[in-house]
Chain A
């Protein structure tokens, strides 16, 4: 199994509070991704990173920011959480984003509830 650790695994917080989710990898892969998974929407990309300090937006980036100061860590921050951000968040990594053949490897997810 790919060495991906998401923390926390579960979190309950209140509307308006800041939240940071962490993804840590031990594979030294260049690419890292944050997705959210919601019923009826499948998996939607929030942000991704193609190197240290190199990030880009996905299709549902509003209300989220990311940072990657080290190869192994990719942080997702909700600056002021809203109930619509209640979801299951998955981190993924891949060795190369330029190779048609390269799949992604996923963490076990973080279940976030915003009351």
Chain B
């Protein structure tokens, strides 16, 4: 089945620093790939997605590129803000009646 390995946290960065959160996956077929974000006290929200190889998903300054050859979907942001402090989850989509498999999440803390 599908599985996800996500960079362990916590990650602490200063404001305006560059962010990378690594995510690699194993999957049957070629699923869509998703990044979700969870702000304190809230549920997960879809941050961005990519549906096929070499697609780049982007939202709120975050980007991730679907790399089929390395089975990776690393999340990046050029300049983080305090408001980006949250937990980030990587997940591959899946077909059939089986739902998304999530990584364990990476907690990001951005300090001013």
Contacts and interface: CB of A to CB of B under 8 A. Distances in A.
Interface string A72-102: 0000000000000000001010100111111
Given A42-B89, A42-B102, A50-B97, A101 B43 contact: no
Interface stretch (B12-20, B45-53, B72-80): B45-53
Contacts of B25: none
Interface residue range, chain A: 20 to 34
Nearest to A91: B43
A41 to B, nearest CB: 7
Contacts of A50: 97
B43 A103 contact: no
Contacts of B99: 31, 33, 45, 48, 58, 92, 94, 97, 104
Interface of A: 4, 31, 33, 40-43, 45, 48, 50, 56, 58, 90, 92, 94, 97-109
Interface of B: 29-32, 34, 36, 41-46, 49, 51, 89, 93-100, 102-105
